[in-house]
Amino acid sequence: MRSTYRLGRVAGIEIGLNWSVLGLLALLMWTLATGIFPETNPGLGDNAHFAMAVVASLGFFASILLHELGHALQARREGMQIDGITLWLFGGVARFAGMFPSAGAEFRIAAAGPAVTAVLAGGFVGAALIPGVPSSVDGVCSWLGFINLALLVFNLIPALPLDGGRMLRAALWARSGDLTKATVRAAGTGRFLAIGLIGLGFVMILLGDGVGGIWLAFIGWFVLQAAGAEARYVQGSAPGMLHVRDMMTADPITTSPGATLEEAAALGRDGDPYDAYPVTEDGHVLGLLPLRVLREVPPGEWPDRRVGEFTLGRVEAPVVTGDDTLASALAALQAAPVQSALVLEGESLAGLLRITDIEDALRARAGRTPSPASG
Ligand SMILES: [Zn+2]
């Protein structure tokens, strides 16, 4: 990843610059110097327009950096570790390590960036309104006020991955307690927005505004990609969001209450280690047989003792469903007398979740877990 260069540190947070920013900076300076400032400040010469363009472009990137620092500093206040800030084509991305600690924390982190942008917009508009400021300062401040206002409105659209989408996701998450569902809904509005932008872009191209249309379609395409990535992120690739269904042993070895301990002991001779077997009878799930009974009961008694005597019933044995997340499965296992949980779908046995299944799943996912980002 040599496309990002280190700029330095601000408040202990590393700032990176993607090469695409240099291209955008040049394009922006050219547009401002030759198109926008000659129109807003016609009385000034080319050199003054060029100087204004340089100051305004740098002010624009400083505004984006301050917006991202708002996210990052709030994240640090919420106890999150910050990997750094990268400035690139569409503004900035603050990178955090780990998942958001709570819905409230995510809401405050998402809102901190637009709050900074709102203050900047107010400040620049206010500076432009001061009586007697030179025309060039007025031009630069007006443009920076306008662009920060535009950034504020765009960022507050309630569609992931925009800040407004994160605030919406946090609100849905707080209400339902289900981060995955909240993300899928907020990403859905993001996809809706993206398709609208792409469509509008094509309409503009057809109407003759080729550059504006391509830009709009390109931003739509970016939002579409990012919204999809957000949804995929919570739907499986994050360790906290692994689901029982993805980890469990789907077709576990089972035993029945009438079987002898001798028969139960023979079940696991070859194959993976089980620490408990589901006990079923005529399709009904009765509970779990913990294998530690084989250590507690002398082998001489095994042929005469029945599995039913030692079965942990459905109240004592941990029970989860395929939809449960890793976090809730671990909570169920923590309080349990065995290190396996019955996975039930309705009343039937869908699988067995063993602690070794969880270890295998985590090992398989290690190394390909992206960290959440905030734009
Ligand atoms: Zn933001």
More confidently predicted of 247 and 236:
247
Helix or strand (DSSP H, E) at 361: helix 355-365
For ligand 1, the distance from its centroid to the CA atom of residue 305, given in whole angstroms, is: 65
Q: Classify domain 244-365 by CATH number.
A: 3.10.580.10
Residue 368: its pLDDT value, please?
43
Residue 325: its pLDDT value, please?
74
Mean pLDDT value of segment 350-375: 66
For ligand 1, the distance from its centroid to the CA atom of residue 68, given in whole angstroms, is: 6
Evaluate if residue 125 carries a pLDDT over 70: yes
Bridge partners for 285 per DSSP: 280
Mean pLDDT value of segment 70-77: 88
Residue 213: its pLDDT value, please?
84
β-strand 13-18 against 81-88: which pairing, if any?
Answer: parallel
Closest CA to 74 of 188, 167, 169: 167
Q: What is the mean pLDDT of the chain?
A: 82
Residue 355: its pLDDT value, please?
80
Evaluate if residue 35 carries a pLDDT over 80: yes
For ligand 1, the distance from its centroid to the CA atom of residue 165, given in whole angstroms, is: 10
For ligand 1, the distance from its centroid to the CA atom of residue 67, given in whole angstroms, is: 6
Evaluate if residue 30 carries a pLDDT over 50: yes
More confidently predicted of 265 and 365:
265
For ligand 1, the distance from its centroid to the CA atom of residue 116, given in whole angstroms, is: 9
For ligand 1, the distance from its centroid to the CA atom of residue 152, given in whole angstroms, is: 9
For ligand 1, the distance from its centroid to the CA atom of residue 69, given in whole angstroms, is: 9
Between CA 188 and CA 195 the distance in angstroms is: 11
Mean pLDDT value of segment 221-227: 81
Q: What are phi and psi of 223, to 5 degrees?
A: -65, -40
Read off the pLDDT of residues 186-220 as tens digits, 9 standing for 90 and up.
Answer: 888 888 888 998 999 999 889 888 777 887 888 88
Mean pLDDT value of segment 102-131: 92
The token pair at 354 is 């063993």
Mean pLDDT value of segment 143-166: 88
The token pair at 58 is 């740098």
Residue 126: its pLDDT value, please?
93
For the chain, the domains span 4-240, 244-365
Between CA 31 and CA 151 the distance in angstroms is: 18
Closest CA to 137 of 128, 125, 146: 128
Read off the pLDDT of residues 112-124 as tens digits, 9 standing for 90 and up.
Answer: 999 999 999 999 9
For ligand 1, the distance from its centroid to the CA atom of residue 71, given in whole angstroms, is: 7
Model pTM above 0.85: no
Q: Which residues are catalytic?
A: 68
Evaluate if residue 369 carries a pLDDT over 50: no
With bands split at pLDDT 50, 70 and 90, how would you rate the model's confidence at 258?
very high
